Chains A and B, each alone.
Chain A
Amino acid sequence: MERIKQAMERARQEREAGTTGTVDTGSTIDPARLPLEAGNDGAGAPPHISYTQTRIVRVDPQVLQRNRVISGTSDPAVVDAYRMLRTRVLQRMHENGWRSLAITSAGPSEGKTLTAVNLALSLAMDVNHTVMLVDLDLRRPSVHRLFGYEPKVGVADYLFSDIPMSSVLFTPSVERLVVLPGGTKLDNSSEMLSMPRTREMVEDITKYYPERIVLFDLPPILMVDDALAFAPFVDAFMLVVEEGETAKPALKQATELLKNTNLLGTVLNKGDHRGKYYDY
């Protein structure tokens, strides 16, 4: 049963991929191969799939490592931790039928973007999903930086100028992961995030791809109102907490602000409890 279901889903994905991009070699995606490995190997070998409209960015593994983005050479404990996060996030989203998840934190520099990126990568490892990561921290867009890529255009350009979505997207040579970078820095981002066009965009990217999970990287909730302004468009929120950095009152305040939304849960970043969870 399960296998049949998976096969059917795969077939549908391929169909969808066919509508947005073309398979230039005609080969299918090898489900046995891990996307990370593909990314690793992708430096030399030609990719198995390529999106005609989606820019494929070759990512230097050393850059990833330096940016603490999980890759094939990462500490297995870290990878396991993100797997744990992925599984629990997936469980909750399935339970509630959620498709989109906004990731934010109480204060700045508490590891939102890294968590978003690593969660996206981890989700992409699960062959049942495709993942789209949208950088909506328009005041300080930084998702692309973690991949060591500087896009010319971003989500703001897509929203304000009439350019096609496909020209903005890039895929960091990881299967089933598409990134919508922030692009140009904006100072009035909260107004932009509450525009009808933004709603349309969110509806577009979530509804057209049933098995797709969309992650939004949002600015800190206590610093600017972006996250709150964007809240109606997203299914659930996840709070990133940094060990030894996030203040308890700030965390409490953040949860207070988010109490009318679906708070999926929290992630403790830089947690130091290795012995307890990971030493096996």
Chain B
Amino acid sequence: MEQESYSLNDMLALMRRRKGQFWIAFAILAVLSIIVTFAWPATYRSTGTILITQEEIPSQLVPSTISGYAEQQIRAIEQRVMTSKNVLDIIDKFGLYKDEQDKLARTELVDLVRENVTLEMLSADVVDPRNGKPQQATIAFTLSFDDQSPRLAQQVSNELVSLFLNENLRQRMTQTRDTAEFLGQQADALNRQILDLEDQLAKFKQQNNGALPYEYTTTLQLMQRTQADLAETERTMSTLQDRRVELESELAQATRDAPVKVDGGVVLSPEDQLRSARSQYSSLLAMYGPNHPDVVRLKRQIDGLEQSTGDTSANPDLAAQLQATRSELDAARQRYTEDHPEVQRLQHAVESLEAQVASGVGTTKAPAPAAARPTNPVYVQLQIRLQATVSDLQSLQAKQESLRRSLAAYQQAMAKAPEAERVYTALTRQLDDARAQHHDIAAKQMEAELSRQVEQNRKGERFELVEPPVEATEPYSPNRLAWLFLGFIVTVAGSIGVVAVAESLDEAVRGSQSITALLGAAPLAVIPYIPVEGENRTVDRGKMLRISAIVAGVVVLVLVLVNFLYKPLDVLWYIMLRKLGI
């Protein structure tokens, strides 16, 4: 009980005691807050509203290649727009913060601008069509700039809004273009890959002709047919060979030339005459030596004949003659001894012939057809048939060769088939994959291209300036009425604080309770203040009067000075009312 009444009394005593301090603090703080409220420079705000419009072409028709939430995009754009460079450009362009430019660093100026830019999202409650959850969607945003000059605020705000719009457009264009370009590059790369694979496949096919899986049956059939052909050819060849042997033997039996008769006898052609003369010349030369008149005559005859026939070739039958002569020589040796004249003559002839043959005169060549043309029709016929047979045989031989080669090739191909199949399958599979991918990418590229077209034609989601920044007529801040109220609260709180501080700093004894607390014993008595009659009050009253007079005098003086030196008081009054927004 004692304690309660003490604290209440203590409060009352405190209030009585600290009245003066309280009012002094109150007056000072009140004046300060009023001065600050009215002297604080007004700031104007200019705001532009930008609507985020939906795509004009439904995304079901042309899906956009731009994803992400609107707010995210706006923040990203903000980061791009509010770079130091851009902000410094704005500062220079509009001459912002001229006063501060000398005092502050450039970066601080940039921060100042950034502080005065306000970006606010306007959201709407929507229901997500996919999962049905309610959520906030940003449908628009406002961009504001605060400045002490309403005009500058509007200009800068305008600039910022256009920067935002341009950046958004640029970004969307870049994004769609990049997407399309990327997809195009991918498609090109795939295309190249496909071409490359096709090339490889073609080469492989070429290298493995006939070994490829789809050619297997064909190759098999071809091989069988070739084998049959080969057998057939061989059979024919053997027949032909038989016939050739037969014909050769027949030809060997037949005489080459038929007899020629002149005047009822045989008439020799110059060629035959020449041949006969040469034949005689050889035998005569062997018999008599070169200077024998018969030999010389024959020589002359041969020369003449040669000239008339133009045939300078030597006797073609030298070899045959040599052969015959040697046969005769062999036969003579069996009959006679070496010293026999016949043997010696033959020996001599052989030597001569051999010398002729060795000298190569007219003996290297086959007998000219005209010269060698057989005259016996049977012989000729046989010869022709023989020739036809030989030629058939030759062609068949060639065919056989070719068939054999083909067969070998087919066999080789059949051997290679399993390996070829593996490689071929791998190649074709790669090619199929690449083609499928290319198909996909191409489709996507088409979509991206469409999306790009949409953006290019400004049909996509985009920013639309619905409310351009205007020059503010009313200051945005300070709200002087609110500031006054706040100032009042601060004043009261501050005054109470001053009193509280003064009280806490005051160590003086207050009340008998404090003595009891301090010394452990109550005072013997409490003597009240003894007022001296009359004196106290009159003194206080006089003091109060004096103070009031001084205060009133100072106020009047200040008002008079303001009136004449600054602005007339009635004007000030209206200014104050306007600032309060009344």
Contact = CB atoms under 8 A, between A and B. Distances in A.
Contacts of B535: 66
Contacts of B511: 243, 268, 271-273
Given A243-B511, A244-B510, A270 B518 contact: no
B528 to A, nearest CB: 5
Interface in B127-176: none
Interface in B511-536: 511-512, 514-515, 518-519, 521, 523-533, 535
A266 B524 contact: yes
Query: How big is chain B's contact interface, by range?
Result: 20 to 34
A267 B524 contact: yes
Nearest to B532: A66
Interface string A30-50: 000000000000000000000
Contacts of A270: 527-529
Contacts of B518: 248, 251-252
Given A66-B535, A273-B511, A273-B512, A81 B521 contact: no
Given A268-B509, A271-B512, A244 B527 contact: no
A265 interface: yes
Contacts of B75: none
A277 B533 CA distance: 22
Contacts of A269: 527
A132 interface: no
Given A68-B530, A249-B507, A85 B515 contact: no
A145 interface: no
A274 interface: yes
Interface string A236-258: 00100111111111011001000
B509 A78 contact: no
Interface string A63-77: 001101000001101
Given A88-B524, A272-B529, A251 B519 contact: yes
B370 interface: no
Contacts of A267: 523-527
A247 B528 contact: no
Nearest to B514: A248
Interface string B533-563: 1010000000000000000000000000000
Given A66-B532, A248-B518, A85 B527 contact: yes
A266 B535 CA distance: 29
Secondary structure type dominating chain B contacts: mixed
A269 B507 CA distance: 16
Nearest to A266: B523
Contacts of A78: 527-528, 530
Interface residues of A, number: 44
Contacts of B533: 65
B200 interface: no
Given A66-B535, A251-B519, A252-B518, A246 B524 contact: no
Contacts of A264: 524
Nearest to A81: B527
Contacts of A115: 527
A75 to B, nearest CB: 7
Nearest to A250: B507
A29 interface: no
Contacts of B515: 241, 251, 266, 268
Contacts of A68: 530, 532
Interface string B438-473: 000000000000000000000000000000000000
Nearest to A264: B524
Contacts of A147: none
A274 B507 CA distance: 22
B156 to A, nearest CB: 61
Contacts of A252: 518-519
A209 to B, nearest CB: 24
Interface of B: 5, 9, 13, 16-17, 507-512, 514-515, 518-519, 521, 523-533, 535
29 contacts: A65-B533, A66-B532, A75-B528, A77-B528, A81-B527, A81-B528, A85-B525, A88-B524, A115-B527, A118-B527, A241-B515, A243-B509, A248-B507, A248-B508, A248-B509, A248-B514, A252-B518, A265-B524, A266-B519, A266-B521, A266-B523, A267-B524, A270-B528, A271-B511, A271-B528, A272-B13, A272-B528, A273-B9, A277-B526
Q: Can you list the 8 inter-chain pairs with the closest CB atoms, starting with the nearest?
A: A271-B526, A85-B525, A265-B524, A68-B530, A268-B523, A266-B523, A247-B507, A268-B526
Interface of A: 65-66, 68, 74-75, 77-78, 81-82, 84-85, 88-89, 111, 115, 118, 238, 241-249, 251-252, 255, 264-278
